[in-house]
């Protein structure tokens, strides 16, 4: 090749190299854009069988399903989670021992759930049965069987969403051991959530997940030892905690270190939504919001879910007609009486509360009693109509003065009706309606003995009052030492045990004027009088001194005109106590 040819070739080679620099993929000047992946986490907790909308309840499952479908249309990368206390509550849940709720959750497309303390209200064996019906995983990383046998509950799942691997594990509160009937958890241990959490996070990281979610029924109550806040503080590596148990409404979540804790409140009054953003597989954004009932009620109910609800209600009709016992007297559930005075139905319910809980006293609000039960057969449906709210039994430790304050609150509106009027067992009390509000209760006896203001008693009440409802704020922060089934279930079991019942009004609550307190007359000291005969040489001061008196006392007592002039043979009277 000639010199000129070589020069031309060299110029062409340089030109091609320059062009190649600008068109070669991956070169710095034209680096690939980062890959962004959006994932939506939708969550519920503490629905307690509130499948249908209600004045004091949420939007219902059919509208939750409608909202979830709407969100899926916006983003197919969606995960649906539940944090427990879901399988128990209202009769639509309890009559089938949770199976109805599992059917609905299957239809709604849940991915997984953790177990709440009230989910154990049918016993652990029932949990295992329901886990086999569910199309989703029930998680229980800190639950183990005492006999060492395998459990159907999974510790965790790894869900891959559009190339993003998300590890999800579940934890239940150790409080389940006493916040559900202890009989129901005899065969299992519930381990320390923090210690188990550390093990699971380590295991998930070894599997190279992009994110870790803990679905927990721990709560953020200050009275609880094992909380989701404690978990977030002591276990590194959890990106999101979907929580329940404390019925806390966290509108934008609670940030603890690098962990976001979310919770919706209670009774599906809100639907939780967390928007996640991943950049090249790394979690770069977490935003929590709540979708409220007010907005949810504007949605059309999901037809498939609503059809299942209607079918369940139809199937429950024969169950509600089951005869559970008989009453020889009318059980008074009228509004006017239960909100102003002792009733035999109030006595029956509170007796049942004492029977199942073993508490010292029981107190429930008359406003929670909603229907009379006529003489004759009692059906399961009768108890549902009478106690329709799904409230469950809570046992708290309170002092005597708290009980007195509670009774003062309960009779504050008398003689007007008040939903908080107390129906009681294990105690009797008297109050004076003529006295100032807050100072009406003048006698309280517990098991026949006067109440001790400073003594600690166990009080059985319902969850509404235990949380401070009907102004029973004196109970709100007291130690919770037990939780049991719904009131209507407790009543069913109590009536079944008795067979035939005849409760009466017994004088547990008496409105009468406090007797006036008569001042006891001042007792005068009983005196004994001795006579002293004056001897020659005696002087009054010396006589007084010998009897422990002063001469002035003797002069006054004997009315001596001249105390310095006394005569031999004269009688001096000496008063002696």
Every domain of the chain and the residues it spans:
1-32, 36-315, 323-511, 528-576
Query: Where is 196: in which H helix or E strand?
Result: helix 193-206
pLDDT band per the 50, 70, 90 thresholds, residue 558: confident
Average pLDDT, the chain: 91
Is the pLDDT assigned to residue 27 strictly greater than 70?
A: no
Is the pLDDT assigned to residue 6 strictly greater than 70?
A: no
pLDDT band per the 50, 70, 90 thresholds, residue 523: low
For residues 532 and 510, what is the distance between their CA atoms, to the nearest angstrom? 62
pLDDT band per the 50, 70, 90 thresholds, residue 54: confident
> CATH code for 528-576?
3.10.350.10
Is the pLDDT assigned to residue 367 strictly greater than 80?
A: yes
pLDDT band per the 50, 70, 90 thresholds, residue 46: very high
Q: How many CB atoms lie within 10 A of CB 195?
A: 12
How far CA 517 is from CA of 451, 513, 544, in Å, comes to 20, 12, 43
Confidence (pLDDT) at 136 = 97
Please tell me the least confidently modeled range out of 288-292, 299-303, 326-330, 541-545. Answer: 541-545
Running DSSP on this structure, what letter comes out for residue 110?
Answer: -
pLDDT band per the 50, 70, 90 thresholds, residue 482: very high
Share of the chain above pLDDT 70, in %: 92
Give counts: helices (H), strands (E), the chain: 18, 28
Confidence (pLDDT) at 570 = 84
* 221 or 403: which leads in pLDDT: 403
Do 119 and 181 touch, CB atoms closer than 8 A? no
pLDDT band per the 50, 70, 90 thresholds, residue 3: very low
pLDDT band per the 50, 70, 90 thresholds, residue 22: very low
Domains 36-315 and 323-511 share a fold: no
Encode pLDDT of 267-304 as tens digits: 999 999 999 999 999 999 999 999 999 999 999 999 99
Encode pLDDT of 381-427 as tens digits: 999 999 988 899 999 999 999 999 999 999 999 999 999 999 999 99
Could you tell me the pTM of the whole model? 0.74
The alpha carbons of the chain give a radius of gyration, in whole angstroms, of 38
Encode pLDDT of 159-169 as tens digits: 999 999 999 99
Confidence (pLDDT) at 533 = 86
- Helices 487-498 and 344-357: crossing angle in degrees, nearest 10, is 90
Is the pLDDT assigned to residue 21 strictly greater than 50?
A: no
For residues 566 and 535, what is the distance between their CA atoms, to the nearest angstrom? 10
Is the pLDDT assigned to residue 506 strictly greater than 50?
A: yes
Confidence (pLDDT) at 488 = 94
**Cα angle, residue 154 at apex, residues 153 and 160 outer, rounded to 5°:** 140
Confidence (pLDDT) at 30 = 36
pLDDT band per the 50, 70, 90 thresholds, residue 8: very low
Tokens 């639950």 identify what position?
Answer: 143
Confidence (pLDDT) at 137 = 96
For domain 323-511, the CATH superfamily is 5'-Nucleotidase, C-terminal domain (3.90.780.10)
Is the pLDDT assigned to residue 31 strictly greater than 50?
A: no
Those residues whose C-beta lies under 8 Å from the C-beta of residue 276, and which sit 6 or more positions away, are: 38, 39, 40, 41, 211, 240, 283, 285, 286
Half-sphere CA count of 95, side-chain side, radius 13 A: 19
Is the pLDDT assigned to residue 524 strictly greater than 90?
A: no
264: nearest Cα among 282, 240, 289: 289
Confidence (pLDDT) at 29 = 36
Confidence (pLDDT) at 270 = 98
Do 567 and 543 touch, CB atoms closer than 8 A? no
Is the pLDDT assigned to residue 434 strictly greater than 90?
A: yes
Those residues whose C-beta lies under 8 Å from the C-beta of residue 229, and which sit 6 or more positions away, are: 220, 254, 256, 261
> CATH code for 36-315?
3.60.21.10
Residues in the chain, total: 577
pLDDT band per the 50, 70, 90 thresholds, residue 23: very low
- What are the tokens at 402? 């708290």
- Helices 303-320 and 99-108: crossing angle in degrees, nearest 10, is 170
Is the pLDDT assigned to residue 377 strictly greater than 70?
A: yes
Is the pLDDT assigned to residue 231 strictly greater than 70?
A: yes
Confidence (pLDDT) at 28 = 42
Encode pLDDT of 338-354 as tens digits: 999 999 999 999 999 99
Q: For the residues 497-509, what does the mean pLDDT come to?
A: 96
Q: How many CB atoms lie within 10 A of CB 107?
A: 18
pLDDT band per the 50, 70, 90 thresholds, residue 568: confident
* 558 or 52: which leads in pLDDT: 52
Q: How many CB atoms lie within 10 A of CB 313?
A: 15
């Amino acid at each position: 090749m000639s010199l000129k040819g070589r020069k031309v070739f060299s110029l062409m080679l340089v030109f091609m190299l320059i062009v190649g620099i600008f068109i070669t993929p991956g070169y710095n000047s034209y680096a690939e854009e980062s890959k962004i992946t959006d994932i939506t986490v939708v969550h519920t907790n503490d629905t307690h069988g509130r499948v249908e909308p209600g004045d004091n309840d949420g939007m219902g499952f059919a509208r939750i399903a409608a909202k979830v479908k709407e969100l899926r249309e916006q983003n197919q990368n969606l995960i649906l989670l539940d944090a427990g206390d879901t399988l128990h509550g209202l009769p639509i849940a309890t009559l089938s021992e949770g199976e109805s709720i599992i059917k609905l959750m299957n239809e709604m497309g849940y991915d997984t759930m953790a177990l709440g303390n009230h989910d154990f209200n049918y016993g652990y064996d029932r949990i295992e049965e329901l886990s086999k019906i569910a199309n989703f995983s029930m998680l229980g990383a800190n639950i183990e069987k005492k006999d060492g046998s395998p459990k159907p509950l999974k510790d965790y799942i790894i869900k891959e969403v559009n190339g993003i691997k998300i590890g999800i594990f579940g934890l239940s509160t150790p409080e389940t051991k006493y916040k559900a009937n202890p009989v129901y958890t005899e065969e299992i241990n519930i381990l320390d959530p923090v210690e188990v959490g550390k093990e699971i996070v380590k295991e998930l990281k070894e599997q190279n997940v992009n994110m870790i979610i803990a679905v927990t029924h721990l709560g953020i109550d200050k009275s609880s030892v094992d909380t989701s806040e404690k978990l977030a503080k002591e276990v590194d590596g959890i990106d999101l905690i979907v929580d329940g148990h404390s019925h806390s409404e966290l509108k934008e979540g609670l940030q603890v270190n690098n962990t976001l804790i979310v919770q919706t409140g209670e009774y599906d009054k809100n639907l939780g939504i967390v928007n996640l953003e991943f950049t090249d597989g790394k979690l770069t954004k977490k935003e929590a919001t709540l979708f409220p009932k007010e907005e949810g009620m504007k949605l059309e109910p999901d037809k498939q879910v609503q059809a299942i609800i209607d079918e369940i209600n139809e199937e429950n009709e024969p169950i509600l007609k089951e005869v559970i016992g008989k009453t020889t007297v009318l059980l008074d559930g009228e509004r006017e009486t239960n909100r102003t005075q002792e009733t035999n139905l109030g006595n029956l319910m509170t007796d049942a509360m004492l029977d199942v809980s073993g508490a010292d006293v029981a107190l429930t609000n008359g406003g929670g009693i909603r229907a009379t039960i006529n003489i004759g057969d009692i059906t399961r449906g009768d108890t549902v109509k009478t106690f329709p709210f799904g409230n469950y039994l809570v046992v708290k430790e309170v002092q005597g003065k708290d009980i007195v304050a509670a009774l003062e609150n309960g009779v504050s509106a008398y003689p007007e009706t008040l939903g908080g009027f107390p129906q009681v067992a294990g105690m009797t009390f008297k109050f004076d309606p003529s006295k100032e509000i807050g100072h009406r209760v003048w006698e309280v006896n517990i098991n026949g003995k006067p109440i001790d203001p400073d003594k600690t008693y166990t009080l059985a009440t319902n969850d509404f009052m235990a949380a401070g409802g009907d102004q029973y704020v004196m109970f709100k922060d007291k130690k919770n030492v037990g939780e049991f089934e719904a009131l209507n279930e407790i009543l069913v079991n109590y009536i079944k045990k008795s067979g035939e019942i005849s409760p009466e009004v017994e004088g547990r609550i008496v409105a009468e004027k406090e007797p006036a307190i008569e001042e006891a007359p001042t007792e005068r000291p009983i005196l004994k009088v001795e006579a002293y005969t004056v001897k020659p040489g005696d002087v009054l001061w010396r006589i007084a001194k010998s009897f422990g008196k002063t001469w002035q006392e003797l002069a006054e007592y004997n009315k001596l005109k001249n105390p310095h002039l006394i005569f031999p043979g004269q009688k001096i009277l000496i008063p002696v106590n």
